[in-house]
Amino acid sequence: MLERLAAGATVLLVLVLDLLGVRPGWADGQDAEGHALLLVGRQQLGPDAEATIAEVLAEFERGEPARSAVHVIAYKPKASVALAEIVAGDSAEVLVDGPAAPAKP
């Protein structure tokens, strides 16, 4: 299955959330630094899903995510907290504010 992921036939996205060491119940795992992990696309992994997910999570737990054939998006702490609230929080509405990125030259 990891070969299929590496070939791009199937995409597994790992969202790395810096929630200051907190792992919410809806997170799929935690990396070696205590960041919560959320896997997106796992429903497309087919019959080998559980073994593949276990292997990918084990790599992150060992601090070896670069070996995984997955796409990784790591969020900074404030963005992580906002995403967690948007995905699983109790708020009816969420306003996220931050500095604008500088213009490209």
**Residue 11 in 3-state DSSP?**
coil
pLDDT of residue 18: 96
- Do 57 and 35 touch, CB atoms closer than 8 A? no
What's the rounded mean pLDDT across residues 14-41? 93
Name the one residue in this structure whose structure tokens are 């997910």.
Answer: 53
* Domain chopping of the chain, boundaries: 2-88
CB neighbour burial string for 9-39, b if at least 16 within 10 angstroms, e if fewer: ebebebbbbbbeeeeeeebbbbbeeebbbbb
pTM of the model: 0.80
Write out pLDDT tens, residues 37-85.
Answer: 999 988 888 887 898 899 899 999 999 876 667 889 999 999 999 999 9
pLDDT of residue 39: 93
pLDDT of residue 10: 66
